[in-house]
Chains A and B, each alone.
Chain A
Amino acid sequence: MSTSMVEVENLSKSFGDNLVLDSFSMSVAKGEVIGIIGPSGSGKSTLLRCINFLEKPNAGVITIDGERITIDSHSPSKISGNKIAHLQSKVGMVFQQFNLFPHMTAKQNIMAGPKYVLKEKVEVYEEKAMRLLKQVGLPEKADAYPEELSGGQQQRVAIARALAMNPQVMLFDEATSALDPEIVGEVLAVMRTLANDGMTMLVVTHEMGFVRQVADRVIFMDQGKIVEQGDPAILFDKPTQQRTRDFLSAILSHTD
């Protein structure tokens, strides 16, 4: 398929004898926004981390923007570090705990990738950093250190830092779960704009409202497998699987 941006085929990953991803497959079209939901421990983070090679899968094929990586179960460690770093630079990732570099200002955090990885010119990455700070609504925080920023502000800088690499895909791993409820909205707003601008996004979240409004497709996963997927409006209102129903009713009773 020429329009697919991310292609995951038979991805397996275990930690010790804990099989976390069980021959997982999915295809993400260019510009598609996918919400990934599921109970804690179902392998959502591991899936994103494998797609970004922060975890080394045991087996499977991952294709990002036409670049294909086959992980062979017999020699799982053969891919070169440079190849992995190259693929990682095409995939942006936003973490639950922000993980900003504490020794760099907001602007320096955003410039880190363009400067040290893309080796862009000073004028280029300075300009880019300021533009991204504006995009996430924090131009006045350019010289602030992460410790001087609220959680919501830190997460917006983290999104800008990922965007500075001109990624083809953005992965969000519970990007708002560590935030106070009243500031979740400011981060979701940035994500929503990004989705509207055509970014391909994989969003692991508990924000069902966001998934319903923004995602083109929702995937419900449990025990390392897709249980059910489809249009959010349909899946949320008429789930076909009992496990999906149980999960959704548990989530909904929580958020009230």
Chain B
Amino acid sequence: MVFNVVNAKAALAGLSMGLLMTIVLTFLCGITSLTAGIFVALAKMSKIRILRFAVTCYVTIIRSTPLLVQLIFIYFALPFVGIRFGPFMAAYIGLSLNVTAYLSEVYRGGIEAVPKGQHDAAAAIGMTKSTAMARVIFPQAFRTLIPSLGNYVVSLFKDTSLASTVTIQELMFKGQIAAGATYDYMTIYIMVFVMYFMVGFPAIQLVTYLEKRMKNGYARKKMTPENGEVSA
């Protein structure tokens, strides 16, 4: 028997707690990065040179190194210079710093892709640069970016498994504990696998659906029975 029901039942509670932690971590880091990414993108496009330079350094360092190394550095290396974080803070900071860097590039691409005519039209009715960004440019960029942002959040969900290395008791960590206790790697990791899949699969379905909706244009936002949006 490949799958041992007794071992599975014994591990279920622990693994469920792990999955909950995975979701909490994804949620907190997701919200943080989706927000911070906007400001990092704006900083990268700002007129202030030193700000642009600082942000470029940050993004480049994050993108050029593995997330695993970043997490381990924050949790295990920084204490040697007196910067100490608990496991949860270390994971939260590490994952958020990482995802923010990537999302800032996504945001920047989206903002820069808004046609010049939109900037002109906003300026022509007297909008300042910041009003134009908030009311005209960013809302258009954001809409086109929703599918990519969604994909990054799904990646984040999977990447939280690396937080097990800094002793966060998320799904992967709980799996390792249960596997070590029973030596039934097959049963335990089938469960871990399935639990990630149960969240990850609907999430990518949602992203695919959003992608399709984006292509429908703005008018489709109005929910009417005729365009089939109500039942969708």
- When C-beta atoms are compared, the residue in chain B nearest to A89 turns out to be B126
User: Are A82 and B121 also in contact (CB < 8 A) when A103-B218, A112-B135 are?
Assistant: no
Assess whether A54 is in contact with B125, with CB atoms less than 8 Å apart: no
Interface residue A81 (Cβ < 8 Å from any Cβ of B): yes
Assess whether A117 is in contact with B125, with CB atoms less than 8 Å apart: yes
B194-232 residues with Cβ-Cβ distance < 8 A to A are 217-219, 222
A169 to chain B, nearest CB (A): 12
Interface residue B8 (Cβ < 8 Å from any Cβ of A): no
User: Are A116 and B131 also in contact (CB < 8 A) when A88-B123, A99-B118 are?
Assistant: yes
The CA of A210 and the CA of B120, in the complex, are separated in Å by 26
User: Are A81 and B129 also in contact (CB < 8 A) when A88-B124, A92-B124 are?
Assistant: yes
Assess whether B125 is in contact with A145, with CB atoms less than 8 Å apart: no
Chain A facing B: main interface SS: mixed
User: Are A145 and B219 also in contact (CB < 8 A) when A81-B129, A85-B127, A101-B136 are?
Assistant: yes
Interface residue A147 (Cβ < 8 Å from any Cβ of B): yes
The CA of A97 and the CA of B128, in the complex, are separated in Å by 22
Interface residue B117 (Cβ < 8 Å from any Cβ of A): yes
Assess whether B217 is in contact with A147, with CB atoms less than 8 Å apart: yes
Assess whether A52 is in contact with B128, with CB atoms less than 8 Å apart: no
Chain A residues near B124 (CB-CB < 8 A): 52, 54, 88, 91-93, 95, 162
Of the candidates A91, A95, A117, A147, the one whose C-beta lies within 8 Å of that of B121 is A95
Assess whether B117 is in contact with A86, with CB atoms less than 8 Å apart: no
Chain B residues near A120 (CB-CB < 8 A): none
Interface residue A113 (Cβ < 8 Å from any Cβ of B): yes
The CA of A54 and the CA of B222, in the complex, are separated in Å by 34
- When C-beta atoms are compared, the residue in chain A nearest to B142 turns out to be A103
Assess whether A89 is in contact with B125, with CB atoms less than 8 Å apart: yes
B118-153 residues with Cβ-Cβ distance < 8 A to A are 118, 120-129, 131, 135-136, 139-140, 143
Assess whether A145 is in contact with B217, with CB atoms less than 8 Å apart: yes
Subset of 23 A-B contacts with CB under 8 Å:
A52-B123, A82-B128, A85-B123, A85-B126, A85-B127, A88-B123, A88-B126, A92-B125, A93-B120, A99-B120, A100-B121, A101-B121, A101-B140, A103-B140, A112-B135, A116-B127, A145-B218, A147-B218, A148-B219, A161-B121, A161-B125, A162-B124, A165-B126
Chain A residues engaging chain B, CB cutoff 8 angstroms: 49, 52-54, 81-82, 85-86, 88-93, 95, 97, 99-103, 112-113, 116-118, 143-148, 158, 161-162, 164-165
Chain B residues engaging chain A, CB cutoff 8 angstroms: 115, 117-118, 120-129, 131, 135-136, 139-140, 143, 217-219, 222
A-B CB proximity, top 4 nearest: A89-B126, A99-B121, A113-B125, A99-B117
Q: A112-B125, A162-B125 are in contact. List 11 more A-B contacts (CB 8 A).
A: A86-B126, A88-B125, A89-B125, A89-B126, A90-B126, A95-B117, A95-B124, A99-B121, A103-B218, A147-B218, A148-B219
